[in-house]
Amino acid sequence: MRRCRVCGSAIEPFMSFGPMPLANGFLRAEEFASEAFFDLEVAFCERCAMVQLTEPVPPELMFHEQYPFYTSGSTLMTAHFHRLAAEVAQSLAREPDAFVVEIGSNDGTLLQAFSSGGTRHLGVDPSRNVAEAARAKGVETLCRFFDEQAAREIVLEYGQADAIIACNCFCHVGDLHALAAGIRALLKPGGLLVFEDPYLGDIVRLTSYDQIYDEHAYYFSAGSVSAWLSPYGLEVIDAQPQAVHGGSMRYTVARKGVHPARAGVAALRAEESRMALQAPHTYSLFRRRIEQSREALRDLLTRLHQQGKRVAGYGATSKSTTILNYCGITPELIEYITDTTPLKQGKFSPGAHIPVRSPAAFHFDFPDCALLFAWNHAEEIGAKETAFRSAGGKWIRYVPRVTIE
């Protein structure tokens, strides 16, 4: 029997995607034979409401010295993180010698705003290549996984933190108890934790099931976050929806009773009741919509192939690994995927083995259609790919439903 990794209750998966490779396991042809696969199954806990993977993949396999995702790859995301940094900096304006820690600091995109202003800061990230990119920007970075032990060592060297920030990080941490114990140890009594992750309500509403992959071990809601943090003496005091990454939630957390809760928390809890995020039938319906979305996408790609149309993927995202493998999309249906990340170019996509090429290949000879795997960056990509549209190119999207236009 499987157990909820937050509250220990028995859980059953509501959806199985079958065997999946590492979402960011871009590989060379000579590595195909040794590629590892893991069962991707997702469950809802009726007691604490946490939606979670049933079999988390060992973190060292996912986060290492060749982690191919760089936060700075999107201009709009960079601007988003600079705005968040400015907000946190403002809240710390009266703190003498404030200390800010970012967990999952990647290439230092957010902390750079603090380092350039001379604020005491520390990034923590287990992936060596991105940690080194951050250091090269002047961002002080500790290259390791964050847990209670790491927190205690940071406190010994720097003292407790006035603010802890984590963006698109906590949902990646398999052991949420080690994480919460670390936060409790690191946060100053009056300090604030601000974290954001893809929001379960948006994933269910938009059927954006491609957010479900090995690195995302949890899909948070206000209800499940409160159930997780409460035993550690922590409470959510604000929740603000964010448009980024196809719908994220920014939670502000403090020690219980230290700061008053703001209106955002009650509003979100009411919205979660309205959406029935605490009810198991919501997830059976979600599964049915996922299956329908798969059929619609396969039908469209098969039809385009029969018509002799050339289709390329746009953005070799982690999310695309779920789509490609769950929908059984082969290099016959998608010729290649274009992506700006040098670490992915010249390799093949995990599992489906579709070649990844630079944007130059896309611009040199536009395909008839582009399947937008990086749909969460549609605004930024649409603005720079106007020539593709002018040449008659069509975008295929699958969130919130399969369309071609």
The Cα–Cα gap between 301 and 324 comes to 12
The Cα–Cα gap between 38 and 18 comes to 8
CB 222 within 8 A of CB 240: no
Q: What six digits make up the tokens of 229?
A: 């943090």
Q: Which of residues 150-169 bind ligand DWN (CB under 6 A)?
A: 168
Which positions from 263 to 302 touch ligand DWN by CB under 6 A, shown as an x/- string? Answer: ----------------------------------------
Please tell me whether residue 247 adopts helix, strand or coil conformation: coil
Does position 215 interact with ligand DWN (CB under 6 A)? The reply is yes
CB 122 within 8 A of CB 138: no
Contact of residue 73 among ligand DWN, Zn ion, none (CB under 5-8 Å per partner type): ligand DWN
- Of 41-49, 119-127, 133-141, 314-322, which segment contacts ligand DWN by CB under 6 A? 314-322
Does position 374 interact with ligand DWN (CB under 6 A)? The reply is yes
Report which residue type is found at 348: F
Q: What six digits make up the tokens of 98?
A: 């404030």
Interaction site with Zn ion (CB under 5 A) = 4, 6-7, 9, 45, 47-48
Which residue from 275, 341, 393, 400 is in contact with ligand DWN, where contact means CB under 6 A?
341
Does position 402 interact with ligand DWN (CB under 6 A)? The reply is no
Does position 105 interact with ligand DWN (CB under 6 A)? The reply is no
Nearer to Zn ion, 52 or 112 (CB): 52
Q: Which of residues 5-24 bind ligand DWN (CB under 6 A)?
A: none
Q: Which helix (H) or strand (E) holds 112?
A: helix 112-116
CA 59, chain centre distance (Å): 15
Does position 378 interact with ligand DWN (CB under 6 A)? The reply is no
| String of DSSP letters for 344-398 | TTTSB-TTT--BEE-HHHHHHS--SEEEETTGGGHHHHHHH-HHHHHTT-EEEE-
- Of 6-14, 45-53, 82-90, 374-382, which segment contacts ligand DWN by CB under 6 A? 374-382
E-strand stretches of 110-247: 120-124, 141-142, 161-167, 187-198, 218-219, 234-242
Closest alpha carbon to 372 in 397, 392, 339: 397
CB 1 within 8 A of CB 10: yes
Task: In angstroms, give the least distance from the CB of 241 to ligand DWN.
Answer: 17
Nearer to Zn ion, 2 or 120 (CB): 2
Nearer to ligand DWN, 307 or 390 (CB): 390
The Cα–Cα gap between 371 and 170 comes to 29
Does position 52 interact with ligand DWN (CB under 6 A)? The reply is no
Q: Which helix (H) or strand (E) holds 41?
A: strand 38-44
Question: Which single residue is written with the structure tokens 């859980």?
Answer: 11
Which residue from 173, 381, 399, 402 is in contact with ligand DWN, where contact means CB under 6 A?
381
Closest alpha carbon to 342 in 357, 355, 352: 357
Question: How would you classify the pairing of strands 234-242 and 248-255?
Answer: antiparallel
Total chain residues near ligand DWN (CB under 6 A): 19
Does position 315 interact with ligand DWN (CB under 6 A)? The reply is yes
Contact of residue 380 among Zn ion, ligand DWN, none (CB under 5-8 Å per partner type): ligand DWN
- Of 48-56, 126-134, 149-157, 337-345, which segment contacts ligand DWN by CB under 6 A? 337-345
Which positions from 317 to 336 touch ligand DWN by CB under 6 A, shown as an x/- string? Answer: xxx-----------------
Contact of residue 69 among Zn ion, ligand DWN, none (CB under 5-8 Å per partner type): ligand DWN
Task: In angstroms, give the least distance from the CB of 269 to ligand DWN.
Answer: 25
Q: What six digits make up the tokens of 117?
A: 């202003």
Residues that bind ligand DWN (CB under 6 A): 69, 73-74, 168, 215, 245, 315-319, 339-341, 374, 376-377, 380-381
